[in-house]
């Protein structure tokens, strides 16, 4: 994994290799600026006297995890790309949702205790483009990381996966004929389109989570066309059973389903159905940064990934977003960034009935440490003797817990702890690089 580099005025320079960073640190030419992602600061260089190459941030937004990859473009060909950093942001939308639901329930219970309460006016409106807090959080954390990476690397542009499939590439798919074969970009877009249109299940039996094949509703051998309006998805069994029968014969004893398939095949998928509000909100905010934003589709990502033989992870998917002909240096560890929040505003801990169970401290710091700080503890003697590095959870007693890679170590005194990086609302972990096995399986 490359190391991010800043100049002496904290302006971003080109990232360097781990080996070079080690040499610079050993010779005293650089200092550690940040632990995660690892960033060094040169003491004797400014950005004016350095050569910068184009660097792009690539984003694959997901509901639970967003893949973010920083790549360096080849000077002569921007489609030849070298991975600088792989990153996965784990969102906490579900937790936010649960907390808000719980708060609503508790409030309702408290209000219900009053004998009479005049009803409130229905005076609440939502501004245009409003997103639920759990969804807004996805946009906010992704933007926070884009902005942070722009401060740590000389980013010249952003590429994001905005839609699952590209209507433009298919040029009004319901009308024009299309080649649906696997292995072409076109084929991937059509597949993604069909998955969205037929809700990712077999049209004939409704099976989910099974491999789906493309089926001609009116069989090809009887003159059926390759238009998308004649294509549907079927599981292996249904596809085999149907063979080259016309759909009317195959579904003779299920007229309801026959009618529904015929109606759905004719209806073109509305643009709006494929558009995800969170992705659009993210796209608009990315545009507001002033950097050029290129958008791409999920079909193209899949096409790139399978063509280049790259395993499927969120971060590597992000690396495959957009126009790419070659990717190098992708076999590196991934930095997992888990959104943890910055603690609870609520001071009273409640049990599941809403009764108080305990109280949190007023102050967030104990002996200069805060929950979420990255610390290193050197315990010289005793049962817990050793060196531990990780996220600290503070206790009023000054006896802390440290979340290390191997697990939680309890009861470490604050006296043995040394601060490495302040809590910033994220927990960090390095995932090992994909094994050779993963790589060959993907290819
Ligand atoms: Zn089926």
The whole-number pLDDT of residue 417 equals 96
State the chain's mean pLDDT as an integer. 89
Q: State in Å: Cα 300 to ligand 1 middle.
A: 27
Q: State in Å: Cα 266 to ligand 1 middle.
A: 20
Nearest to 126, CA basis, from 118, 111, 136, 117: 136
3 state SS of 350: strand
129: left (phi over 0), alpha (psi -120 to 50) or beta: left
> What sign for the dihedral angle of Cα 300, 302, 306, 312?
positive
Exposure class string for 112-136: b at 16+ Cβ within 10 A, else e: eeeeeeeeeeeeeeeeeeebeebbe
Q: State the Cα–Cα distance between residues 386 and 402, nearest whole angstrom.
A: 13
Q: State in Å: Cα 230 to ligand 1 middle.
A: 17
pLDDT in tens, 362-412: 888 999 999 999 999 999 999 999 999 999 999 999 999 999 988 999 999
Q: State in Å: Cα 235 to ligand 1 middle.
A: 4
Q: State in Å: Cα 205 to ligand 1 middle.
A: 4
Q: State in Å: Cα 202 to ligand 1 middle.
A: 5
Q: State the Cα–Cα distance between residues 17 and 319, nearest whole angstrom.
A: 19
Full-model pTM? 0.85
Q: State the Cα–Cα distance between residues 417 and 371, nearest whole angstrom.
A: 13
Q: State in Å: Cα 241 to ligand 1 middle.
A: 9
Q: State in Å: Cα 180 to ligand 1 middle.
A: 20
Tell me which residues of the chain have a pLDDT lower than 50.
none
Q: State in Å: Cα 210 to ligand 1 middle.
A: 9
Q: State in Å: Cα 441 to ligand 1 middle.
A: 26
pLDDT in tens, 145-201: 999 999 999 999 999 998 888 776 666 665 555 556 666 787 888 888 888 888 889
Q: State in Å: Cα 209 to ligand 1 middle.
A: 11
**Structure token pair of residue 82:** 């070298």
pLDDT in tens, 247-268: 999 998 899 999 999 888 888 7
Q: State in Å: Cα 61 to ligand 1 middle.
A: 31
Nearest to 438, CA basis, from 334, 336, 283, 303: 334
The whole-number pLDDT of residue 272 equals 53
Q: State in Å: Cα 195 to ligand 1 middle.
A: 14
399-403 and 408-413 as β-strands: parallel, antiparallel, unpaired? antiparallel
Q: State in Å: Cα 303 to ligand 1 middle.
A: 25
Q: State in Å: Cα 204 to ligand 1 middle.
A: 5
């Amino acid at each position: 994994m490359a190391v991010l580099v800043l100049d002496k005025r904290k302006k971003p320079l080109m990232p360097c290799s781990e080996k070079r960073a080690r040499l610079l640190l050993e010779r005293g030419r650089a200092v550690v600026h940040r632990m995660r992602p690892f960033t060094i600061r040169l003491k004797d260089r400014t950005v004016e006297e350095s050569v910068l190459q184009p660097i792009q941030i690539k984003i694959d937004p997901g509901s639970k995890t967003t893949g973010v990859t920083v790549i360096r473009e080849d000077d002569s060909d921007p489609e030849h790309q070298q991975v600088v950093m792989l990153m996965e942001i784990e969102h906490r939308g579900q937790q936010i949702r649960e907390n808000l639901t719980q708060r609503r329930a508790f409030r309702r219970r408290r209000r219900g205790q009053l004998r009479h309460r005049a009803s409130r006016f229905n005076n609440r409106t939502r501004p245009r483009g409003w997103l639920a807090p759990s969804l807004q959080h996805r946009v906010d954390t992704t933007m926070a990381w884009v902005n942070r990476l722009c401060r740590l690397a000389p980013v010249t542009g952003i590429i994001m996966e905005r839609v699952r499939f590209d209507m433009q590439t298919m040029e009004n798919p319901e009308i024009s004929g299309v080649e649906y074969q696997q292995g072409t970009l076109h084929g991937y877009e059509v597949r993604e389109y069909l998955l969205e249109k037929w809700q990712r299940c077999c049209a004939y039996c409704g099976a989910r989570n099974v491999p789906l094949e493309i089926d001609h509703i009116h069989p090809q051998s009887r003159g059926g066309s390759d238009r998308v309006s004649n294509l549907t998805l079927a599981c292996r069994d249904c596809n085999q059973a149907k063979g080259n029968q016309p759909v009317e014969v195959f579904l003779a004893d299920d007229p309801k389903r026959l009618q529904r398939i015929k109606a759905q095949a004719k209806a073109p998928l509305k643009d709006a159905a494929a558009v995800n509000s969170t992705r659009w909100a993210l796209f608009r905010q990315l545009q507001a940064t002033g950097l050029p934003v290129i958008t791409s589709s999920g079909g193209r990502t899949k096409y790139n990934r399978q063509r280049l033989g790259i395993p499927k992870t969120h971060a590597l998917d992000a690396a495959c977003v957009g126009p790419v002909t070659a990717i190098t240096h992708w076999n590196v560890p991934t930095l997992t960034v888990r959104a943890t929040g910055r603690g609870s505003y609520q001071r009273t801990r409640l049990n599941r009935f809403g009764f108080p169970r305990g109280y949190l401290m007023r102050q967030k710091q104990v002996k200069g440490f805060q929950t979420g700080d990255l610390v290193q503890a050197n315990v010289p003697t005793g049962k817990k003797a050793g060196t531990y590095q990780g996220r600290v959870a503070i206790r009023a007693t000054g006896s802390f817990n440290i979340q290390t890679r191997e697990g939680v170590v309890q009861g470490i005194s604050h006296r043995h702890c040394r601060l490495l990086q302040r809590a910033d609302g994220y927990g960090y972990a390095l995932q090992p690089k994909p094994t050779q096995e993963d790589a060959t399986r993907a290819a």
